Structure 1
Amino acid sequence: MGEETALPELPKGWAWSTFKDVSNRVTVGHVGSMKNEYVEHGIPFLRSQNVRENRFDPSGLKYVSSEFHKRLKKSSLEPGDLVVVRSGSVGVACVIPDNLQDANCSDLVIVKQPQGIDPHYGAFYMNSVARARVNSQQVGVALIHFNTKSMAAMPIPVPPLAEQRRIVNKIEELFTQLDAGIDLLKKLKVKLKRYRQAVLKAAVEGKLTQDWREKQQQRGRLKSGDTLLAHIKTEREQCYQKLLDVWQTEVEFWEAHGKVGKRPSKPKKLKDLSALNQDDLSGLRILPDAWFWAKLGNVSIKIQIGPFGSLLHKADYIKEGIPAINPTHINDLKINVDTNFTVTQKKFDELKKYSLEEGDIIMGRRGEMGRCALVTENEDGFLCGTGSLYIRPAKSLNSLYYSYFLSSRDTKTYLERHSIGTTMRNLNENILNEIPVPVCSYLEQEKIVEEIEACFSICDRIETDITSDLKKSEKLRQSILQKAFEGKLVPQDPNDEPASLLLERIQAEKVQQEAKSKKRKATTKKKKSRKTTKTKQLEITDGSNEGQAS
């Protein structure tokens, strides 16, 4: 074997071989168009997506007719065959299970009827140690492939057959235990997510701060709802007046400089939306005393949809400029900046109205509803992306409290129900204006945020531990496989037949089979030759008889 000198030393009784030498043959699945070949019922037809690490996945399994299957003898499959993905997730392998008595495939490398290895041992080896070698032997440019030649020459450490089966059994035993632990960790992550939503639900219902609120009310420290709403209204009016003053200054400057360019646009007056009526309130949760429901538009200074595609094109994005924040950059109530998704200062100045300020709440306006985050001082001056919108709450409101509320299950359900569009659901300014939000005193908003963050910090620590344990589990899986193929996972049995004898016997059987095959072909060829000679003789005789008759 060409690469044998570069291969590590193996335990006593083991031997290096190749997949070609330990199998009937190495071939490839059907290569070519499958257009119009699939049928509703028939022979199972595997593709790369049906092959997962060490298991067959029936999801999306296709079928072909018996006639088509018979024409593809080369790519036919039977239980015990080892199949390897040759493009996409290259090198992923599994064994054809017993319930697939008759099947066919495309885009897979097939190791037919392994003789010197347990096929499951071969699959475990392919999905671990061999993957790095597979990735170094891919061919192709537009679409990367792993070919049969590379697979046939792939080195594999061969233990005695009995030891292979012990190794497979031990791996499966340990992996079953490991998978059970991983499954438990994943379930804990789901429970933590539900717990976070339960905390948010309790927060917006006033249950997190119930005792605190009662004490504050007794001391007369909480403002009434009417007082708070009047304060927000005054703040909105003052904000609009500031916008008018800035506009007036811009107009005077424009007039003093010859009225060059377009006249500055007068800011739109902030709308006073109608209050929620009894029908609206009947579908909402009952709030504590001193709380009230209000429309988001009535307690916000600004709600702005991000720039449409006509204002911000793909060609406008550069690296290391001013970040634009789209829904993909908003995860777990935080903004994750992508330095490849930025704009120039000039483009930013053209889109000044979409500039984010500290205290804003940015939200995805399409796709997943309720995906939002607070704009902190780190993101102050960033650009609201085309797929996002932002809300600028009144200063009398705690923006972090409302970012929590807008990411709650109640808000997500509301947005899903009121979003528009068929292919992809979208939000607009009118929908955002009408969102009912619970309003309480600023002091209580701060207290709610404090309670939420205390609960979430515990969740964060647990999630960090879970993530760490999941990474350790994957390392443990690789460690198990490494030990398996170094001969350190199960004890050796001196009574096992050495792999060298097994390989010699396989090679001897192959030589015999090849000799029989050659003899059979020679016999067939001889019979055809005799038949041809006899036919020619008959033709000559017939021709001679015809001559005599004439």
Structure 2
Amino acid sequence: MTTDSGTGPEPEGSGVEEGVARELPKGWVRATIGELCDVNPRSFDEEPSDDDLISQVPMAAVEAVSGRMDASVQVRYGDLKKKSLTRFQENDVLFAKITPCMENGKIAKAQGLTGGRALGSTEFHVLRSRGAILPEYLMHFLLQSHVRTEAERHMVGAVGQRRVPRPYLAELELPVPPLVEQHRIVAKLDDQLARVEAGEAALTLAAAKLDDLVHAARFRCVWPTSGNSLPEGWTWGTVGNVLERIEAGKSFACLPRVARDGEWGVIKVSAMTWGEFREGENKALPPEREPNPSYEIRDGDILVSRANTVDYVGAPVMVRGTRAKLMLSDKSLRLVPKAGVDKDWLIEVLLSRPVRSQYSAAATGTSDSMRNISQRAVRSARIPIPPQGAGQKRVAAAVSDAMRRVIPLKAPLDEQAYEARRLRNALLHAAFTGTLVPQDPDDEPASALLDRIRVQRAADIKPAKSERARRKASPAAPETPGRPVPAGTQDTLPL
């Protein structure tokens, strides 16, 4: 029995989706992100010199859901400017485009950057406001759970490496209040969300202590070592010593939705991330694709996440009940134990911190959003092995007994975490439907500011290079000999 789990799904029933479709308050307009922002600008407003220090912001430096980021790492611009990194500057909004970072809410306003500029992960979309929307307002809008859920449905790419495409983000529509009201909304949100986050921080601390208790209980049962000595009958070995084989999944081009009943689906990495198998974390296989039944997931399977973030790569789950017609992806592995090896013991060993630490250390990859672990690394993890049969069953039973004492402590924390997420969603819902702060009829309508920005941009846009070159190369059409053009009639003569 295991208790390791994530934060769970976002609360439903907040009314956010319905609220977005309501009539907007007076002075508000709807506009797309592409109308409000430069999406993925290729340069800084002011290019730094090679010796200038700027911030470096990998994906790991952006927190999930909070909207905060760590910009403390400084680098010399000249050392990295030729690398394929994302350029952004103070007050830009970062939007993690890759799974699972986007779903986890790695979205933030860039602030505190050294020299006001930074180089970051290539897995960020960058949104630079043109002046009609506050970066903080845009950030909070994107952090809404239903916005991220809808963006996830539009991801493209192979399972495990799916990304939100730029066109989808540019065409995403949102309600825009007058700029003065945006300031009031952001101030109110900051105040109220700070209270929510204080409660969440206390819950996180309590959950971490409970997690330590869970791992300590598991460790005492599956690693009963004294120095390097083991109980009588136990031996040191590797995970590979207790496996018959490892089966890998396959990469599939899937539909951007969950498989319906009767359809074949392919699991996502999030199906194996939270300590329990989540069959709903899947993508539908196109009906024209021929499924391979050998990849189908079955009750009792032990699955390992072959590719995931550094914290979850190699994360194992036991499948304890699942719908039919779900298949392994190329980001998942199925561990098939040898005859006589107790599966309940094996999953507890794989969940133990010493094994998890070995897998994290063995993970490879240059991406800061996704790491990989090889089958060889999975096999080579060092473990203590009790005698097969009754010995392994006794260990599994001892872990199960310890977990039964822990579970009652976990339920209240889960309930309070759910309520905190529900309250966060309710605050955001109020912000973007005009009910969080009162409207002021004297505020300049958002449409007026947007119109001025459009006019200014139109005046600033230069002709394309090819058009300018054509105009320069093409002389004015000569007048027809013997036919002088009467003054004032140039625009009315026939061709």
Normalized per residue, the structure richer in helix is 1
Greater gyration radius: 1
Q: Which has the higher contact order (CA 8 A, sep 6+)?
A: 2
- TM-score when scaled to structure 2? 0.50
